[in-house]
Structure 1
Amino acid sequence: MLRWVIGDENFFAALKNYISDPELIYGYAKTPDLQRHLETESGMDLDEFFSDWVYGKGFPTYSLDWGYDENSKLFVRIYQSQSDESVEYFEMPVPIQLKGEGKDTIVVLDNWYNEQYYNLNVDFKVNSVSFDPDQWLCAKSQDINYLSTDQLSNKVITVYPNPFLNEVKFVVNGDDEAQVQVKIYDVTGRIVAKINGNHQSEIIWRGENLKGNPVKNGIYVYKIVSDDSIITGKILKY
């Protein structure tokens, strides 16, 4: 992944300089020595990368929402969760492949925070999106969801109280009683809770994580998932 982040030319030049460094030949080299050569060659600050991928633990899991907004502009939204709490967020360039009308292209999205939103300009109508087609990233892809503005428009979402103290209620008023799931994430993108329900009923989250323990006060992101739509928003526990 380091090669992906800084590029082939910089990566191999830095390795060549590293192994031929007269101060290191036949001696002891440490990780900061390698980082120094990589930064010198690429001109990039790699502190965050080494903190996450070398000294931290775990890996990211991504999910994507995509579709066309009310102005017919293509959008992509990236969600990320981390497998270990030692890393707050894996800041990475994320490649996705867009296909449609017999054409395809790969775009790279610089992803710095959870639920980051992008508008993309391509010269064809996209009908499919895939994550990391060349497998550059040490990551999992969980969900790729197409969002239709028409499908979202016939649903009314009520979330109350917000902010909340002990519990918050989600009510999805749709056209039927189809199953829905509410997923709760913390601000780093780590999933906190999952609650199942259906349209026309109250879905209650009592501020507990997947293990049934109370969560800390703060901002959380909810994601309401049904067969034909995904709706997101924020709630505050105090």
Structure 2
Amino acid sequence: IFNSRLSYSKGAMVLHMLRKKLGDVDFYQGVQDYLADPDLSYDYAKTEDFIPIMESASGEDLTEFFDDWLFNQGYPTYNLEWEAISTSQLRIVLSQTQSHPSVSFFEAAVPIRLIGTGGETEDVSLDHSTNAQQFFVDISFEVADILFDPEFDLVSKDNQVSLGIETVVAQAELKIFPNPVSMVLNILKPDDMTINSVRLYSISGQLIKETEFSEHVSMDALPSGIYILQMETDEGLINKSVIKH
């Protein structure tokens, strides 16, 4: 039980992650309640004693958190792919693999830092709850790079961040027209490209519709605005901005 790597180092990181999850006020209130509990003072205490006290202090159900990060084994390895879909917004796709089958998915608020071409920085937290989850992040400067977990707040390893350049060629070869569009949007793809599905998102990231591939996408029932047409291909995800009159 007194294993430095598992009992102390990981335990300390899980406590740090719990503080980040709950916030300082609720976390330290829970710790004070834990230390002052008359049933635990001057006696042995276990994690099972600690959890309900922290839940009471925060008002949150922490079952998933402790199951993922403490009681079960392993850690996540994250892969973050990003691209600027306009001068004011990024699209981020965040995925993870697990080092041990005891955890199917590690839910967490994932911290990233946006780095601008002029040295600007902005910290963003991604509420990661499903694999290959897509986020749309508003930006006020041109982003040159993204740092993953810049303050080392997560138990994770071998994380990767990449600009979505692997789809650049496919993106250039696939055409949509007319754009702006009023009624029907046409998709023209190379003969050797396979499109598995087509999704249409609002500029805020809300999924509007999802269909199998068709060369024609009906837009007439949608209000005017900017939309993101996402196509899942064998070469990766391809996104096109669409202006609806």
Would the TM-score normalized by the shorter structure come out above 0.5?
yes
> Deviations 1:190-226 (Å, cap 9, x if unpaired)?
xxxxxxxxxxxxxxxxxxxxxxxxxxxxxxxx997xx
The alpha-carbon distance between structure 1 residues 223 and 74, as it changes in their structure 2 partners (threshold 3 A), is: same
Task: Say yes or no: does 1:115 pair with 2:132.
Answer: yes
Q: What RMSD in Å do the two structures reach over aligned CA positions?
A: 2.6
* Cα shift at 1:98: 0.2
Quick check: 2:88–2:139 contact (8 Å CA) kept in 1?
Answer: no
CA distance in 1 between partners of 2:88 and 2:106 (Å): 31
Please report the TM-score for the alignment, with normalisation by the length of structure 2: 0.62
Aligned residue runs from structure 1 range 43-192, under 5 A:
43-69=59-85, 73-100=89-116, 101-148=118-165, 150-154=168-172, 158=193
CA distance in 2 between partners of 1:132 and 1:223 (Å): 29
CA distance in 1 between partners of 2:194 and 2:141 (Å): 38
Quick check: 1:39–1:46 contact (8 Å CA) kept in 2?
Answer: yes
Equivalence for 2:12: none
* Cα shift at 1:73: 2.9
Quick check: 2:89–2:137 contact (8 Å CA) kept in 1?
Answer: yes
CA distance in 2 between partners of 1:106 and 1:151 (Å): 31
Amino acid at match of 1:9: V
Gaps of at least 5 residues in structure 2 are 1-16, 174-189, 197-231, 239-245
The alpha-carbon distance between structure 1 residues 6 and 223, as it changes in their structure 2 partners (threshold 3 A), is: farther
Please report the TM-score for the alignment, with normalisation by the length of structure 1: 0.63
Equivalence for 1:189: none
Quick check: 1:131–1:141 contact (8 Å CA) kept in 2?
Answer: no
Amino acid at match of 2:236: I
Amino acid at match of 1:138: V
Equivalence for 1:177: none
Q: Give the SS at the match of 1:118.
A: strand
Amino acid at match of 1:79: S
In proportion to residue count, which structure has more helix? 2
Gaps of at least 5 residues in structure 1 are 163-221, 225-229, 234-238
Quick check: 1:61–1:83 contact (8 Å CA) kept in 2?
Answer: yes
* Cα shift at 1:151: 3.5
Equivalence for 1:211: none
The count of corresponding residues between Structure 1 and Structure 2 is 168
Larger radius of gyration: 2
* Cα shift at 1:50: 0.8
* Cα shift at 1:33: 1.4
Within the candidate set 47, 72, 85, 1:31 is matched to: 47
State percent identity of aligned pairs: 36
